[in-house]
Amino acid sequence: MKKSSWFPSRFEEVLCAILFAVMAVITFVNIISRYLLKYSFAFTEELVVSFFVWLTLLGTSIAFREQSHLGFSFLVDRLPPKIQRVLLWVSAGLGAALFLFLIYFAIGQVGEEVSLGITSSGIGVPQWWYTIGVPVFSVLIVLRVFQGASRVSRKMDKG
């Protein structure tokens, strides 16, 4: 793999590593504070919870890109190759449709949070800062759904 193409193809892993590191530091500082100072930074929980949502979406993107998500292929593997290819693209289309719906509704939620001026309960930052990750990472998932399906389709061509 070329060095110039490494980052775009592994963007999710880099972002996951950064998010995990931030979450680990936040949680560690909170634990130390709780046991040494007898004071908890409860507001940090909202960061960790929001980052978990982002990590879930990034992990979904990785799974679709690598075709490593859970699937039941017992029946499909026994079908003729042409039908397998059709079912591959049907399933990719359905997966993309699911995340397109999620994008649509998440954008609506972000819009409401912005227009209503909703802030987070712990830190008091605009709530949409956390919510914006859902549509953004869902766009990435849609791209990775088709990237993974394309990779499988090319493997099917090679036999």
Residue 92 in tokens:
């990719």
69 in a structural domain: yes
57 in a structural domain: yes
Instruction: Report the distance separating Cα 108 and Cα 110, nearest Å.
Output: 5
More confident residue, 66 or 40: 66
Evaluate whether 22 touches 51 at the Cβ level (below 8 Å): yes
1 in a structural domain: no
pLDDT value at position 2? 55
pLDDT value at position 39? 80
146 in a structural domain: yes
pLDDT value at position 75? 85
Q: What is the mean pLDDT of the segment spanning 74-90? A: 90
69 confidence band (pLDDT: 50, 70, 90): confident
CA atoms within 13 A on the CB side of 3: 0
Q: Which of 24-33, 40-49, 57-66, 93-102 has the lowest mean pLDDT?
A: 40-49
Q: Which of 36-45, 52-61, 103-112, 133-142 has the lowest mean pLDDT?
A: 36-45
121 in a structural domain: yes
pLDDT value at position 159? 67
pLDDT one-digit tens code per residue, 6-40: 667 788 999 999 999 999 999 999 888 888 888 87
What is the count of structural domains for the chain? 1
55 in a structural domain: yes
Does the structure show a pLDDT above 70 at 117?
yes
Residue 61 in tokens:
């993107």
93 in a structural domain: yes
Structural domain boundaries enclosing 134 = 6-158
35 in a structural domain: yes
pLDDT value at position 149? 93
Residue 13, beta-bridge partner list: none
- 3-state helix/strand/coil string of the chain: CCCCCHHHHCHHHHHHHHHHHHHHHHHHHHHHHHHHHCCCCCCHHHHHHHHHHHHHHHHHHHHHHHCCCCCCCCCHHHCCHHHHHHHHHHHHHHHHHHHHHHHHHHHHHHHHHHHHCCECCCCCCECHHHHCHHHHHHHHHHHHHHHHHHHHHHHHHHC
Residue 105 in tokens:
């509704």
Evaluate whether 91 touches 122 at the Cβ level (below 8 Å): no
Instruction: Report the distance separating Cα 103 and Cα 111, nearest Å.
Output: 12
